[in-house]
Amino acid sequence: MDKIQIDTDMLICALEDQNFEVNHYLDIKTGEIVTLTDLDIPEEDELRESLDKDKDRYIYIEPIDSRESFEIMERFVYQLPEGKSKNNLDEALRRRKPFRQFKDTLYDYPDIKEKWFQYHNQEIKKIARKWLQYNSIDFELFPLPEERIQKEKKQREHILSKKRIKYLSYGFSLMYDEIKNDIGTLSRNEKETENTWLWDVLPPIGRAELNINMAFKLLTSLITLVYKFHIEEDFMLGNRAEELLLHIAIENAIGIADGDQVEIEDYNNFIGYFYEDTDFLMMYDQEYDGIDESPIGEMMSIGSLSPKDWFSPYNKPRRQHPFFWHDEERLKFPANKEITDDLYNSD
């Protein structure tokens, strides 16, 4: 009997997927990784029926325990040579939300980041092989490393397609203009918060804290976010404010595209690409009860959702961008504005 060919990347994604509403299975007949959600989706009916009728054909893929993932990071740090980079990465693992902290700290050390990706892939591949052997599957993993690099490049190009970026830029520009108008409104009357655009788009717990100071900080965070999209090849969102602003920008982009009657790919895979988690969406839930400040939130490693912490960096900034907060009255801009077109033109 021929060996089953199994996509390494798909198997690794299934093993690392901690979403409790999603279940992955290996089809031992085709080698395909198939996915079922807890949602009632008609497109999944055929697969559900097949799973019920032919249970021996599908093997449930149990996700790797988060503790095991953490231990992989610990082992990687342990084998690094003594020095500042090792100390900083070890410290990152001791903070809240260690997975985010670790990944963000890695960006300070590009060489170590590449070594981590190689180490991580090898460790997860070992786990994948052990899982396949435990289930007595005669397998062959693919693609080859060169093919994987091309696959990842195509994935990034798909996520950051020209059309998506075009409408995301429109969303950013709209936000920039609206927040500047809000700053003008609040500078004339600081009690006019309910008549601002920010009041309409911020989650309820943010509205209560809305003032001109927050509006300035949100504008600065927006500029930082757009700067990252323009300049940095690869980046992570730096704080709650950037998470919120990208979410709002995506909503704007979709609305503008609909208004133009333009079909645009959905932005769902932006979540997996740019966000470590979606805890911030809890703030939009009318049932939100401050779970992040509770023992349950601590156990679930939910970071603070409080507006006072929106602008606190998850880790120290990796580089200083040329736009910065100045005197709580205005933004100072660089001499060279070419990379941002007219988005950053100040009065």
pLDDT digit string (tens) for 212-248?
999 999 998 898 888 877 765 567 788 889 989 999 9
Q: Dmax of the chain from CA atoms?
A: 78
- Sorted by where each begins, the domain ranges of the chain are 1-142, 162-340
Token pair 């990034």: residue: 156
Q: Residue 58: beta bridge partners?
A: 27
Q: Residues of 38-68 as b/e, b for ≥16 C-beta within 10 angstroms?
A: eeeeeeeeebeeebeeeeeebbebebbeeee
Structure tokens at 301: 């490693």
Predicted confidence at residue 316, as pLDDT, reads: 54
Length of the chain: 347
What is the average pLDDT across 311-337?
48
Name which residue leads in pLDDT, 119 or 263.
119
Predicted confidence at residue 331, as pLDDT, reads: 40
pLDDT digit string (tens) for 39-70?
666 767 788 888 888 888 889 998 888 888 89
Q: Which stretches within 25-144 are classed as H helix?
A: 45-53, 66-78, 84-92, 98-106, 110-134
Q: Half-sphere exposure (CA, 13 Å, Cβ side) for 115?
A: 14
Token pair 């279940």: residue: 23
Q: Which run of H or of E encompasses 35?
A: strand 33-37
Name which residue leads in pLDDT, 219 or 2.
219
Predicted confidence at residue 160, as pLDDT, reads: 73
Predicted confidence at residue 181, as pLDDT, reads: 93
Q: Report pTM.
A: 0.56
Q: How far apart are CA 253 and CA 231, in angstroms?
A: 20
